[in-house]
Structure 1
Amino acid sequence: MSVGAWEPENQQEGDAPESIDRAQLERFIHALQQGDQLRESLSLADQGASALMRLPATQWLQESESWQDDQLWELIRFFTLAEAQLPGWDGGPESPVIPLAKTLRRRKAPLSREQLLWIREHSDNRYLPYGPL
């Protein structure tokens, strides 16, 4: 009898993007301008991009450097709503909201009280916006 360790299956190749598609993030922001109901505003392909929720924080921190503060807030809004509304978009402690909010803090432009309340109102993720303690 041998004793081994169970290891979860790796994601299939192609499930997780290697880089962040800026055009796709711009489509996410545009979808928010159409209203808060993302299922109605996003294409099926964009709805299927849930692997973005599990990209490393370092990748999001790097990407966020090329975005303006107001665009980062729109992305925070998008990912907050996506986690609540779209199947498979659960981010938990790996949510992109966390590194995006961190970028704003580093820029001395932290989320306002109203923004923090908005996130709490629209999300059940206890880690948002600042991550695990």
Structure 2
Amino acid sequence: MSVGAWEPQVGGPQNETKEGFNREQLLRLITIAESDTPFIESVKNEDKQASKLIRLPSQRWIDESDNWSSDQIWQLIRFFTQAEMKLPGWDAGAESAVIPLSKVLRQRSVPLTKDQLLWIRQHSNNRYLPYGPL
């Protein structure tokens, strides 16, 4: 029996950033949110297993949002709002990615409109969305 030293892998999937975001996956989530296809039918199995995304620390989402347009951020908000209701294990409460993403839109002077706020309320039972705990 030999004992060797474990060396962690440097780097990961090619499209993964140092913060752990897979931009190809985020693009898929945006596309799902934009689609007219029923939500559950649109989500691939690998994406259904990525529930950790919704609970990543707020600052990571704020930093990552620099790579996305305001419309793409809105689509991510739509995806995460629906995921909490429709995908097992995606409930996030006050840790939801929707909260920092909504903050980014406010900081960009593109706050959520009344229609967007109503959409979130209609598609979520998370009392913390979109602005977090008081």
CA displacement, residues 62-93 of structure 1 (integer Å, 9 cap, x when unaligned) = 00111101111000000000001000000100
Question: Aligned partners of 2:86, 2:23: CA distance in 1, in Å?
Answer: 22
Question: Aligned partners of 1:34, 1:117: CA distance in 2, in Å?
Answer: 19
CA displacement, residues 41-76 of structure 1 (integer Å, 9 cap, x when unaligned) = 011111110011111000000001111011110000
Match of residue 115 from structure 2? 114
1:82 corresponds to 2:110:
no
TM-score (norm 2): 0.83
Question: Aligned partners of 2:37, 2:80: CA distance in 1, in Å?
Answer: 11
> Deviation of residue 123 (structure 1)?
0.2
> Deviation of residue 36 (structure 1)?
5.9
Superposed CA RMSD in Å reads 1.5
Q: How many residues are matched? A: 117
Question: Aligned partners of 1:128, 1:33: CA distance in 2, in Å?
Answer: 20
Contact 1:36 1:81 in 2 (8 A): no
Alignment gaps of 5+ in structure 2: 1-18
Amino acid in the other structure paired with 2:81: T
> Deviation of residue 33 (structure 1)?
3.1
Match of residue 67 from structure 2? 66
SS of the counterpart of 1:87? coil
Amino acid in the other structure paired with 2:23: R
TM-score (norm 1): 0.83
> Deviation of residue 37 (structure 1)?
2.8
Alignment gaps of 5+ in structure 1: 1-17
Deviates more, 1:37-46 or 1:109-118: 37-46
Q: How do 1:8-27 residues align onto structure 2 when only pairs under 5 Å count? A: 19-27=20-28
> Deviation of residue 34 (structure 1)?
3.0
Match of residue 98 from structure 2? 97
Question: Aligned partners of 2:59, 2:81: CA distance in 1, in Å?
Answer: 19
Identify if the C-alpha distance between structure 1 residues 26 and 55 changes in structure 2 by more than 3 Å, giving closer, same or farther.
same
Percent of aligned pairs with the same residue? Answer: 56
SS of the counterpart of 1:78? helix
Amino acid in the other structure paired with 1:32: A
